[in-house]
Chain A
Amino acid sequence: MTVSPDLDRRFREAAASLDLVDVGFDVVDSPIGDLFVAVSDRGLAEISFDTRAEDQLELLARIAGPRVLRAPRAVDLARRELDEYFTGRRRSFDLTLDLRAMPEFTVSVLRELAHVPYGETTTYGELAARVGRPRAARAVGTVMNRNRIPIVLPCHRVVGSTGDLVGYGGGLDRKIALLELEGAR
């Protein structure tokens, strides 16, 4: 027996408004493609360019608890801030972030990354120096590559020491698009 879209929607809405989910997620559209966005009880937990939810749910359950449910209402705030960012009306995000289950080094790099201003770029080496590990540029690159919350934690603003874009978890096209949006290219 098929559950009607309306019944399904009402359940998901009730679950989110009664605070019964550990992680609510939804797919949010953006100029650089659909984004999988997940918000836990502690804040924004994941943004992914891979919108096949199946791959992300187990990870999210391990981090934040098993009640992982698609619940559009739960990501409303994140959706709004992302919309504002993509339409040029927002330069920094006010969302709280859920950085649970990340190694200490990763967290310190990401916190430093969050300070790289809109429209500017830095290098892997510079970022490594700023967390007190000047020789760890490569490790910083790995952290960027595995960044669970791209866009909001702006790993697209980190480039190679010669100015090469180097790489991006979501593909170089997206990195270029984000830097162009911010007027950094």
Chain B
Amino acid sequence: MEAVAVPPFERFYAEHRSEVLRLLRRKLGREGAEDAFQETFLRALQAYRRLEHGEHLRAWVLTIARNVVVDTVRRTRPHAEPEEIGTEDSRPAYEELASLTDGLPPKERAAVVLRYGYDLSYEQIASALDSSEDAARQAASTGVRRIRRRISS
């Protein structure tokens, strides 16, 4: 089967901007959401050229947005616990993994869900999490080990 082509960014942006803004408003309020919106789509632009296919772009951009939320909260409230990465993305794949991944650190959780829930490549996950491919692979495997330990205990 041929991979879905990466759409021109304009289409991707038009399709997902409302949902991204909705998520950011819920997490950061009206004012904080505006900067985070810009940051989210600039990060997406930065990584967009390296995408190998156009699948799961919604999950991808929502993960970037959540990551921006975590960074924003860290920046503005350095001593607060980073906000829980949202569970409002109610795609089946995500739901199945939601209970399993509950309680994982945000980055590990995101990596596990994107890898095993959405079948994203480590390259895509890395750009969503703003980290390296190695770090993304590491986060997913640490997350999985943590889940295994919890299930078996």
- A residues near B (Cβ < 8 Å) are 1-3, 7-8, 10-11, 14-15, 18, 20-22, 53, 57-58, 60-61, 65-70
A67-B22 in contact given A11-B38, A57-B11, A61-B8 (Cβ < 8 Å): no
Q: A11-B38, A53-B10 are in contact. List 14 more A-B contacts (CB 8 A).
A: A1-B22, A2-B18, A3-B17, A7-B37, A11-B41, A14-B38, A15-B45, A58-B8, A65-B49, A66-B9, A66-B48, A67-B8, A69-B45, A70-B10
User: Binary interface profile of B, 7-23, with partner A (CB < 8 Å = 1, else 0)?
Assistant: 11111010001110110
In the complex, what distance in Å separates the CA atom of A58 from the CA atom of B51? 16
Write out the residue numbers on chain B whose beta carbons fall within 8 Å of the beta carbon of A1: 18-19, 21-22, 25
| A-B interface pairs (CB < 8 A), number | 62
Whether the Cβ atoms of A67 and B18 lie closer than 8 Å is: no
Write out the residue numbers on chain B whose beta carbons fall within 8 Å of the beta carbon of A65: 49
Write out the residue numbers on chain B whose beta carbons fall within 8 Å of the beta carbon of A67: 8-9, 45, 48-49
Which single residue of chain A is at the shortest CB-CB distance from B48?
A: A67
Write out the residue numbers on chain B whose beta carbons fall within 8 Å of the beta carbon of A58: 8
| Secondary structure type dominating chain B contacts | helix
Q: Min CB distance, A4 to chain B, in Å?
A: 9
- Count residues of B near A (Cβ-Cβ below 8 Å): 23
Write out the residue numbers on chain A whose beta carbons fall within 8 Å of the beta carbon of B18: 1-3
A14-B10 in contact given A3-B17, A3-B21 (Cβ < 8 Å): no
B132 at the interface (CB under 8 A from A): no
Whether the Cβ atoms of B6 and A66 lie closer than 8 Å is: yes
Whether the Cβ atoms of A3 and B37 lie closer than 8 Å is: yes
Q: Min CB distance, A139 to chain B, in Å?
A: 31
In the complex, what distance in Å separates the CA atom of A11 from the CA atom of B16? 14
| Secondary structure type dominating chain A contacts | mixed
Whether the Cβ atoms of B9 and A68 lie closer than 8 Å is: yes
**A69: which of B13, B22, B34, B37 is its contact (CB, 8 Å)?**
B13
Q: Min CB distance, A71 to chain B, in Å?
A: 9
In the complex, what distance in Å separates the CA atom of A60 from the CA atom of B10? 11
Write out the residue numbers on chain B whose beta carbons fall within 8 Å of the beta carbon of A15: 41-42, 45
Q: Min CB distance, B129 to chain A, in Å?
A: 19
Whether the Cβ atoms of A69 and B9 lie closer than 8 Å is: yes
B46 at the interface (CB under 8 A from A): yes
Q: Min CB distance, B4 to chain A, in Å?
A: 12
Q: Which of B10, B18, B19, B21 has the most CB of A within 10 A?
A: B10
Write out the residue numbers on chain B whose beta carbons fall within 8 Å of the beta carbon of A10: 38
Write out the residue numbers on chain B whose beta carbons fall within 8 Å of the beta carbon of A18: 42
Q: Which of B7, B9, B17, B25 has the most CB of A within 10 A?
A: B9
Write out the residue numbers on chain A whose beta carbons fall within 8 Å of the beta carbon of B6: 61, 66
Which single residue of chain A is at the shortest CB-CB distance from B43?
A: A20
- Which 3 A-B pairs give the minimum distances between C-beta atoms? A57-B8, A68-B8, A20-B45
In the complex, what distance in Å separates the CA atom of A11 from the CA atom of B45? 11
